[in-house]
Chains A and B, each alone.
Chain A
Amino acid sequence: MKILLKIILYIYTFPIIKRIFISLKQKMTSLSGTIGSAQNAQNMELIKAFQAIDANGEISPFLKARKDDIINTIAQEHSDTALKNFVDYQKSTDNVNNLLYYYSRSKDVNELQNNVLATTTQNAQAAVHDSQLAKRQFEINEWSAANKGETVFIMQLLLMAVTFTIFMLFLNRMGAVPTPVFIFVTAIIFIAFILTFVIRYQYTAYSRNTRYWNRKKQTPMVDVNLPDSCLTSLIQAQVSGGADSLASIVSGITKDVGGLLSTTEGFGLNTAYASDNI
C-alpha cells in the first residue's frame, strides 16, 4: 500500500518538479555548470568516504577510475571551450585577412580607375575641343568662301556693265546710237549695278548672320512689360489656388524657357557648347 502511494505521489509530483527544473534552467544559464560542480563534489566526497572504509584496497581501481572521470570532465570542458574559441578566432582572422586583401585590391582599383578617369577626361575634353574647333573653322571657311563668291558676283556684274558700256560707246562713236540714248542706257546699267552692290553690302553688313552665311541675324529679344494690375491679379489667383498652382506656374515657365532655347538653338546661338560639357 505504501509503495502504491509512493508511486502515485511520484507520478503527480514529477511533472511539477520537471517544469520547475526547466524554468530554473532557462533562467539560470550556469545551472548546468553548477550541477556539474555539485556532482563532482559529491563524487569526491564519495571517493573520500570509500577510501576511508576500504582498508584492504579492494575498490581502489574503481576509485581511481572515478577520480579520472572527474579530472576528465573538468579538463574536457576547458578543452572544448578553448578549441571552439581558438577555431572561431582562426576563422574570423582568416576572414579579416581575406577582407583586407579585398579591401586593398578595391582601394588600388579605385585609385587606378581615378587615374584612368583623369586621363580620359583630358582626352575627352581635348576631343570635344578639337571637334568644336574644327566645326567652327569649317563655319568660318564656309562664310569666307560665300563672301568671296558674293564679291565675284559683284565683279561679274561690273565686268558685264563695263563691257556693255564699251559696246554702247563703240556704237555711239560710230553714230549708230545717239548720245542721249547711250547716256540713258549706260546710266540705267550703272544704277542697277550700284543698287545691287549697295543692297548686297547692306544685307551682309547689317542683316546677315555672322556665323552662317545663308541665315539672317536674329533680332534681340525685347522685354515685355506687363501692367502691374495684370501681374497682381495673376499671382493672387494662383496663390489662392494653392502651392500646386504655383509649382505649375514655375513648371510652365521652365518649359517655355526650355522651348525658347531649343528654338533659338537652330539660329546660330552658341548653345552647341552647352551640350558637350564633360
Chain B
Amino acid sequence: MSGGVNSFCPAPTVLSGAVNLNDLLQPWGGDVGTGSNKRYGLLGDPSNPGTAKAANWMTMDVLQDSVRSNQFLSERLMTLSSINEIPKPPDNTFLTEMGATSTGSQNKLPGREAAITEFQIRFKNEFCYYNEKYVQAITNFLTLYTNGDSGAPQAKAAALTLNCKVNTLIAFMNYLSKVNRISLDSLAGSSESGKESGLNLYNGNIQTTQNELNRQAKVLSDNSNNSEIFKEMVEYTSEKNRANQNMLSLYFTLNVVAIASLFIIARSL
C-alpha cells in the first residue's frame, strides 16, 4: 500500500468485508522465549491480569502520556529493563563486572550484543504488527466514514488507539537512542563534571603508567650496567685485599725473625 511502510515493515494485509474492531485491537501475540525468558512486547497485553504480561499493558491515558513525557519513558524503561523486555543500558555495575577479568569482559559483551539484536527484531515485529493494524484501522475508518456508516466513530476510536500505540513505540525507540547517547558520553568520559572518567580516565592512566615504565626501564638499564661495573670493581678490590694480606703476613714474619735475630745477637755477642 505504501512504499515507506514497505521499507521498514512488510506491506499490510488489505482486509475485505466487515472488519471486527476487537480483532484490530488485539495485543501483539508474537511472544518469544519460554519460562522466565518469555517476552511480551513493549506495550504488554491486558489479558491474564496479575501476570507480567498484563503488568506491561498501557492504558490509553498512559499511551498518550508516553509520547510527551521523558520522565514517563524513563520510568517505563526501568520497569521494562528490570523484566528483560529491553536490554539494560551499561551501568556502573555492568562496567565493573565487565572489567573484573579479561575473560569476564570478553564473555559479557557478546551476550549483550545478542540480547540487543534479539530486542531489535522483537521491536520491529511488534511495531510492524501494530502498524499494520493501524493502517487497517485507518482504511476501515475511511471506508465507514465516506459511506456515512454509523460505526465510523467506533472505527475512529480504534484507529486513534492504534495510532497512540504506534507513536508510543516510536517515542520509545527515540528515547532509547537518547539513552545510548548518554551512555556514549558517560563511557567516553565526556561528562560535564570535568572530572576524568570512563575511557578518558583509563587512557590517562595508561599514558601515566607508560611514562613510568619508560622511566623504570631507563633506571633498570642504568643500574644493571652500574651493578656490573661495581661487581667487577668489588672483584678487583678483593684481589687487592688478598695481596695486601699476603704482604702483611710476610712482613709480620720478617719482623718476628728480625726481632728474634736482634735478641740472639744481643745475647750472643
Contact = CB atoms under 8 A, between A and B. Distances in A.
Interface in A84-142: 85-86, 88-90, 92-93, 95-97, 99-104, 106-111, 113-114, 116-117, 120-121, 123-124, 127-128, 130-131, 134-135, 137-138, 141-142
A84 to B, nearest CB: 9
B238 interface: yes
B118 interface: no
B203 interface: yes
Contacts of B90: 96, 100
Interface stretch (A21-29, A162-170, A232-240): A162-170
A131 to B, nearest CB: 5
Contacts of A141: 234, 237-238, 240-241
The B interface is mostly helix, strand or loop, or mixed, namely helix
B224 to A, nearest CB: 6
Contacts of A166: 258, 261-262, 265
Nearest to B269: A173
Contacts of B238: 141
A81 B199 CA distance: 33
Contact of A162 (B12, B131, B147, B262): B262
Interface residues of A, number: 79
A100 B5 contact: no
B151 interface: no
Contacts of A82: 8, 127, 131, 166, 169-170, 173
Given A51-B147, A130-B227, A102 B199 contact: yes
Contact of A124 (B2, B219, B244): B219
Given A113-B206, A173-B265, 17 more contacts: A71-B2, A75-B131, A76-B5, A85-B174, A92-B177, A95-B184, A97-B113, A97-B116, A103-B202, A113-B210, A117-B216, A128-B219, A145-B244, A152-B244, A156-B251, A166-B258, A278-B219
Interface of B: 1-5, 7-9, 12, 90, 95, 98-99, 102, 105-106, 109, 112-113, 116, 120, 123-124, 127, 131, 134-135, 138-139, 142-143, 145-148, 166-167, 169-170, 173-174, 176-177, 180-181, 183-184, 187-188, 198-199, 202-203, 205-206, 209-210, 212-213, 216-217, 219-220, 223-224, 226-227, 230-231, 233-234, 237-238, 240-241, 244-245, 247-248, 251-252, 254-255, 258-259, 261-262, 265-266, 269
Interface of A: 44, 47-48, 51-52, 63, 67-68, 70-72, 74-76, 78-83, 85-86, 88-90, 92-93, 95-97, 99-104, 106-111, 113-114, 116-117, 120-121, 123-124, 127-128, 130-131, 134-135, 137-138, 141-142, 144-145, 148-149, 151-152, 155-156, 158-159, 162-163, 165-166, 169-170, 173, 276, 278
